[in-house]
Structure 1
Amino acid sequence: MSLALVTGGVLVAPAPASADTVRGLQWYLDSLRIPQAHKITKGQGVTVAVVDTGVDASHPALAGRVLRGAGFGSGAGSDGRRDADTETGHGTGMAGLVAGIGGSDGVQLGIAPEARILPVATGGPENVSSAVAAEGVRWAVDNGADVVNISSRATGRSPELVEAVEYAVARDVVVVAPAGNTVQGDVGIGQPANIPGVIAVTGTGRDGKFHSGSTFGPEAVLAGPIEDIIAPVPPVVIDIGYGVATGTSSTAAIVSGIVALVRARYPDLDAANVVNRLIRTASDLGPEGRDDRYGFGAVDPVAALTASVPSVQQHPLVAADGGGPGPDGAGPEKTDDSEPWLTVGVTNRTGAMIQVALCLLIPIALLVLVVVLLRRESRRKKAAAPIPPGFGNSGRPGGPPTVPYGPPGGGYGPPPGHPMWQPQPGPPQSPPSTPYPGQMPLSPPAEGGPGERETPGDHRPPTGSGGR
């Protein structure tokens, strides 16, 4: 299976008007409040691998930012610091969006200008085999990448690429990939974006709404700017060194830069909690909760850098049913403070509703059990209670007593002077055999019947029935 670059459209040079400086065309920086985010961090100490066509390390926007990388497939033998794409300069553009150094209106400012770029060249603009891309991802993980940006897409399923992503996730690396572009004929979200554990990125326009140029699907995780994104390119592509395009590959690079900011701001957070922080602080623009277009919402860098976010034990994007291992080799488990959409295997609202319903049924069943046991205990106590005055030893209201109620004035029967206290003819009556006047022990009911006598302690409510 091969992967195609998610280019999204033909690059065009920015207009020469004085107001259209490089910084002036970076509208998304203000939309995302990147200047405010840069007061907190600029991504220092974080390495972002760009698995693409290579990166032109000589571009002014990337001066001193590009490490020595590696090449695979048709890019084998290179160190990744030359862009093999002479048509669009795709790899250079992605690197510039992540880590452009800025400094003047004529130089691209990246989302994380102090991050380092680790270039992984997989060939030119032609389709790249998934096996080559997988090899590049593994190499990046083994050579210090904290974030891996893969701006390519495939329609099939590649076991090699799935294993490479699992390899990255299990080793504390965040993987970002674009959803796809409708202009290229893409439908739905393909690999690698749809692999569990990957931040699948869809696109929003200047108006902040979902852009028709982006594909979508249930695997969507975050949304970010897609429309008219300016990025650096080699001079061989456009002589002024910059081009503008619309595509989710640019969106993925922007989100990769935001991931770098979060990793720099919170160096002790593992990849699972970095992803958790991003999805927890995203702006929910679509239907409540996760949806096919915005995922968990539009990415919000400032909120991700400043909000108080509960931690999770395992990766929130990795399913427990074969979707890939979490940081400790297992799927995610719901924490006490996690949302339904952060629980095991839940990728849509229906799954979350089913899980919530199951959680509610358990305490309801326990409550019913407690009520039944309490009612049985109540019936048992009534059956074992002493017969009240006036019932006699017959056990029936108004029934004649078979033994005297007790001494006159004792409070158990008729007052003194009542005819029953007069001497009666016949042989003297035997004293009562009961341990106390006016009552006899109840015979235990038939075995198994209602009100069956039970030993103390029977049918007690079960303990607790109340209710990286």
Structure 2
Amino acid sequence: MPAGTVGAMRQGSLIATALVALLVAAAPARASNDPLYPQQWGMAMVGADAAHQVTEGQGATIAVVDTGANFSHPDLAGRLIAGHDFVDGDDNPTDEDATDHHGTHVSGIVAADANNGVGVEGVAPQAHVLVVRVLDQNGTGSVENVAAGIDYARTHGAQVINLSLGANAPLVGDSDTTLSDAIQRALDAGIVVVAAAGNDTLPFCEQPSSLHGPFMCVAAVDRQGQRAFYSSFSGFGSGYAISAPGGSGSGGSDDIVSTAGGSGYQYEAGTSQATPHVSGVAGLLVSVGLRGQAVVDRIEQTATDAGSPGPDPIYGAGIVNARAAVAGYSLGGGGAVATTRAGAAARVTVPRIQRIRTVLRHGLIVRCLSAGAGRCSAHANARRRTIAAGSHRLTIGRWVTVRAFATRRGRAMLLAALRGHRRMVATVLVRLPGAPLQARRVILRP
């Protein structure tokens, strides 16, 4: 892929391109009258049925920044909002992807209609998809167009942005911050951004590593809940890490079936397919009143553990669990009403990988939430030295961002690491009122 371009997270030969007929004679596994629902094993894995007893995503708007969407598909009727086409420069973001209808497939996983007697259903079948086209018929596009598409979604009502796309591996730590700056603007606006980890079997998330805020990187698992062989890891690289159904890449029913061209359906595999499962769950949480970081925290806290006990670099927090995520919440009256307890426990989040240049200019990022008044203070230590420190006054029940700025000795150490193209590992110690000392490990990359 040429420098400065971004592409859909395709699996190449891993994609099963055989179309599934619209009329499929299959006995439904539950009360749904959608004929392809029994083949949607990913929905069962994430517990979508139980979640839909609470909410189907009413009132949520999820932007799919991709190749556009098929507005004539019967299973997406009433679900799509036409945004902008940054490829052709108009307001007709129709999916012209002749290979795998990438944006249409992703949109169907998010919000295909449920119980309409047609095809499949989405994770959030009453949510709306804001369609923003930034990739051409070949699934490629410029970084500038993708950044513009993210900005468009930010200013046009999206509460969640789905990015089933990415650039080459050099995007991690890339000196061109056009894309990461656009994502950060969305995060700063309280929008949840959900992005694909990548399909290159790399040991890190193939997304910008300097992000902080409600960002999730999604790895893919197969039908058995094992990491798909093609999937890059979600646990190193960016923000919060999670896994979701993406298919085995072997074709047929072991991959993910969703909407395609015309009125058809097809199976595809990739982190592109895993990502909208998480975006859909984010939409369900938006519909019950959660926003931004609270959505990400809830998804992480309720994930089904996979791999080594607890969070790990391969599966992240685990496999997304829609049923557990919405448990204890309900839709009520004229709006969403949370039925969980009020008040917030003390919590600390620190992006696992941060760029040395960013730390030198803007400080090391730490986010704090406390139920008590006072200050959140953070000290970063490396090689028995305090390399950065900072604090911020707390607002009860709200997240605050602490910027720990480099000390004189820390600045010298960071500059030396930057010039030598070496990474540093630091331990961040965070103090909150009424809570024990919190310790987090962070990797500082040149």
TM-score bracket for this pair, using the shorter chain length: 0.5 to 0.7
Per-residue deviation, 1:291? 1.6
Matched ranges for 1:362-377 at <5 A = none
**Following the alignment from structure 2 to structure 1, what is the Cα–Cα distance between the partners of residues 269 and 298?**
27
Higher Cα Rg: structure 1 or 2?
A: 1
1:42 matched to 2:77: no
Counterpart position of 1:374: none
Matched ranges for 1:138-287 at <5 A = 138-154=151-167, 155=169, 156=171, 157=174, 158-182=176-200, 188-192=204-208, 195-197=211-213, 198-216=215-233, 217-219=235-237, 221-227=241-247, 228-235=255-262, 241-265=264-288, 267=289, 269-287=290-308
**Following the alignment from structure 2 to structure 1, what is the Cα–Cα distance between the partners of residues 208 and 43?**
27
Counterpart position of 1:121: 133
Deviation digits for residues 225-274 of structure 1 (CA, Å, limit 9, x no counterpart): 11100010112xxxx61000111101001110010001101x2x330111
SS at match of 2:115: coil
Would you say the 8 A contact 2:26–2:36 is kept in 1?
Answer: no
Counterpart position of 2:385: none
Counterpart position of 2:6: 3
Per-residue deviation, 1:2? 1.2
**Following the alignment from structure 1 to structure 2, what is the Cα–Cα distance between the partners of residues 162 and 128?**
16
Per-residue deviation, 1:108? 1.8
**Following the alignment from structure 1 to structure 2, what is the Cα–Cα distance between the partners of residues 282 and 97?**
19
SS at match of 1:221: strand
Deviation digits for residues 112-133 of structure 1 (CA, Å, limit 9, x no counterpart): 0110111101131242111110
1:103 matched to 2:112: no
Deviation digits for residues 121-165 of structure 1 (CA, Å, limit 9, x no counterpart): 113124211111011000110010010001111122240111111
**Following the alignment from structure 1 to structure 2, what is the Cα–Cα distance between the partners of residues 233 and 315?**
42
Would you say the 8 A contact 2:346–2:371 is kept in 1?
Answer: no
TM-score, with structure 1 as normaliser:
0.65
Per-residue deviation, 1:59? 0.4
Greater share of strand: 2
Per-residue deviation, 1:177? 0.7
RMSD: 3.5
Counterpart position of 2:368: 333
Per-residue deviation, 1:330? 6.8
Q: Which amino acid aligns with 2:123?
A: I
Matched ranges for 1:125-140 at <5 A = 125-140=138-153
- 1:78 paired residue among 83, 86, 91: 91
SS at match of 1:333: strand
SS at match of 1:332: strand
SS at match of 2:315: coil
Would you say the 8 A contact 1:284–1:297 is kept in 2?
Answer: yes
SS at match of 2:18: coil
Stretch moving more, 157-166 or 3-12: 3-12
Q: Which amino acid aligns with 1:249?
A: S
Counterpart position of 1:303: 324
Would you say the 8 A contact 2:209–2:354 is kept in 1?
Answer: no
**Following the alignment from structure 1 to structure 2, what is the Cα–Cα distance between the partners of residues 192 and 234?**
32
**Following the alignment from structure 2 to structure 1, what is the Cα–Cα distance between the partners of residues 210 and 266?**
28
**Distance change in 2, residues 1:126/1:250 (3 Å):** closer
**Following the alignment from structure 2 to structure 1, what is the Cα–Cα distance between the partners of residues 300 and 99?**
35
SS at match of 1:284: coil
SS at match of 2:80: coil
Aligned length: 340
Give the gaps of 5 or more residues in structure 1.
364-468
**Distance change in 2, residues 1:275/1:115 (3 Å):** same
**Following the alignment from structure 2 to structure 1, what is the Cα–Cα distance between the partners of residues 286 and 294?**
10
Counterpart position of 1:18: 25
TM-score, with structure 2 as normaliser:
0.68
Per-residue deviation, 1:24? 1.7
Deviating 4+ runs (over 6 angstroms): 312-315, 319-324, 342-345
Would you say the 8 A contact 2:84–2:131 is kept in 1?
Answer: yes
SS at match of 1:250: helix
**Distance change in 2, residues 1:40/1:5 (3 Å):** same
**Distance change in 2, residues 1:321/1:195 (3 Å):** closer
Per-residue deviation, 1:106? 3.3
Give the gaps of 5 or more residues in structure 2.
28-34, 248-254, 329-339, 379-398, 404-424, 438-446
